[in-house]
Every structure is written in C-alpha cells, then in structure tokens.
Amino acid sequence: MTATSKWIRVTKAQPCPICEHGDWCTRAADGTVACCMRTESQKTMKNGGWLHRLSDPLPAVKTKRRPDPVVPAAEFGHLADRYAKAVGDDRIRLFAKSLGVSALSLRRLNVGSDSEGAWTFPMRDAQKRVTGIRRRLQDGRKLSVKGGHEGLFYDPNAIGGRDWILLPEGPTDTAALMTLGFVAVGRPSCLGGREIVKQLVGNRDCVVVSDADEPGRRGARQLASELEMVGRVVKVIQPPSEKDIRAYVQKRIGEIGPGRLRLVVESLIKNACVV
C-alpha cells in the first residue's frame, strides 16, 4: 500500500482543504489529494465523495495503524446502531447515488460509518441478531470488525410474508433488489452463510441470485441444491448483463425506471426453471 492510499480524517484543527469543514471528509497521508464529501469533481470515490488533486500539497503525515480492537459478541448490535446514527441523511443519499440504490434500502439495512470513514454493514443470524459487521474502506477493501461471526445482510422487519425471498451476494446487491421492492437477503460470499440461509427462510420459496462469474454460479448452484434437498421451491437467476445484480440495476434503473426494471427481474424469475 502506498502512502497515497492511506486516508486521514479531517478535523476542526486540520479541515478539508476543499470545503474547509472539519468533519466527514478525508485527505491522503502524502498530502497530494483529498476526498471531499461536499464539493463535486470529475472523479467519484467509492465512499460517495469526490477526489480532488491538490495543486499545493499538504504536509505529509506518517500514519501508524493501531491494532483493531476485538468487539465482544454482545456489543455488535449496539455498535451497528451507533455507526448508523453517525451518518446523516445527506451522506447516505450520496453513497446511495454512487451505488445506484435507494437511500431507504441502505437505512433499512442499518448501514453506517465508523471512525475511520469506512462504511459498515451489519450481518445477522437467523434470529435477527447482529453477529458481525462488514467494513467497506475508502480504498475499496472489504474487511470485518474483529470478534464477529459470519451472517446475512437483511432488513429484520421485512422477512415476514409469503413473497419469494431473493438471495444475492453481498450487502449492496441486497440493497439493489430492495430498491426494486423485493424481499432480499444477502449472502456474505458466494459459498458463505448457507446454514443461516436455510434456518432463516423456513419453508419460503427462494430465488438464488448469482454473480456472472464461475465462482458466483458455483456458489449459487450449491445453495440452490441444498435448499431444494430440504423441500424448498428454488430458482436460480443471474443478471442478463453486467457482473452482478447491483451493477445491472445501476445501469438499467436510469434507463427504464424502478417499476419497469422490477418487471424485468420478475420475468427472469418466472422464466427460470425450478431446481
């Protein structure tokens, strides 16, 4: 990792060189660029902000990362709530726009942000308890808070009912399907979370949503087979274009709108064969 890829939070004493505010934004450790969350540029960052190259570089700062603390299991729910409350509506809207999903879907997933500016996504067990937190850093890396356990990404208030449950990979794919009005439960990886999925869905019909690569297809087939063996009605779909369902929704939603795009996905489900 280069010095430029190490990001430092701005403070009131050392405000953002672009918007001059003392919160929300970050700057590179080598002082050459800043990520401003308020002022737009030609380069959008993965955290919803904008990259600005500084013609007058700031003094370089040497960073020494402290070891991540191990969070007790009982504290994950409180920690996830604290991270979610730390994010204002404006910042959630910007992040949602960068992903091509609705801000409401991120709120329903209790998305937040930690002290390092990483986006946080709670993972839950089949009893709706938060058992871990996925972190999405500003440089795109995906880590987890230490001390947690693997879980699923879902809105605990939306699991009831008789609609199909869609099972994509990851929290942002989950948010994309929620944006279209589907009941979605995100798997932590292509092969992860299968036992928790089987506990959570009960006797509900399921649609496993595969990424458009071989690991994604292999993981989708594995989960579908296991669900079918215990008596569920299961179908498998994958986006007709793009690498995953979020990228597909992000591309098409601006072209045809969420209502018509939902009909497209419903058509994919209808035409898919039962496993």
- Tens of pLDDT, residue by residue over 161-172, are 778 999 999 999
Q: Which residues pair with 167 in a beta bridge?
A: 208
Among residues 67, 245, 47, 243, the alpha carbon closest in space to that of 137 is found at: 47
- What integer best gives the mean pLDDT of the chain? 90
pLDDT for residue 5 is more than 90: no
CA dist 12 and 138 (Å) reads: 21
- Tens of pLDDT, residue by residue over 46-97, are 777 889 999 888 877 766 656 667 888 889 999 999 999 999 999 999 999 9
* pLDDT interval class at 3 (50, 70, 90): very low
Q: What average pLDDT does the segment 138-148 reach?
A: 87
Q: Lowest mean pLDDT: which of 42-56, 149-163, 243-257? A: 42-56
Which residues have a Cβ under 8 Å from the Cβ of 186 and sit 6 or more positions away? 152, 153, 154, 167, 168, 169, 170, 171, 173, 174
Residue 137, class by beta-carbon neighbours within 10 Å (0-12 exposed, 13-18 middle, 19+ buried)?
Answer: middle
Residue 1, class by beta-carbon neighbours within 10 Å (0-12 exposed, 13-18 middle, 19+ buried)?
Answer: exposed
Q: What fold is seen in the domain 73-271?
A: Dna Topoisomerase Vi A Subunit; Chain: A, domain 2 (3.40.1360)
Domain-wise residue ranges, the chain:
7-53, 73-271
**For position 232, what pLDDT does the model report?**
82
H helices of the chain, in order, are: 76-85, 89-99, 103-108, 171-179, 194-201, 214-229, 245-271
pLDDT for residue 116 is more than 60: yes
Q: Which two tokens stand for residue 223?
A: 């989960």
pLDDT for residue 194 is more than 80: yes
- Assign 232 to helix, strand or coil: coil
* pLDDT interval class at 109 (50, 70, 90): very high
**φ/ψ of residue 61, rounded to 5:** -125, 130
* pLDDT interval class at 1 (50, 70, 90): very low
- Assign 155 to helix, strand or coil: coil
If one counts every other C-beta atom within 10 angstroms of the C-beta of residue 215, the result is 13
Contacts 24+ apart (CB under 8 A), 229-234: 230/198, 231/203, 232/201, 232/203, 232/204, 232/205, 232/206, 233/205, 233/206, 233/274, 234/205, 234/206, 234/207, 234/208, 234/274, 234/275
Percentage of residues in the chain having pLDDT higher than 90: 68
More confident residue, 66 or 205: 205
Which residues have a Cβ under 8 Å from the Cβ of 257 and sit 6 or more positions away? none
Q: Which two tokens stand for residue 30?
A: 């080598």
- Angle at CA of residue 141, ends 53 and 65, nearest 5°: 80
**For position 63, what pLDDT does the model report?**
61
Whether 199 contacts 126, CB under 8 Å? yes
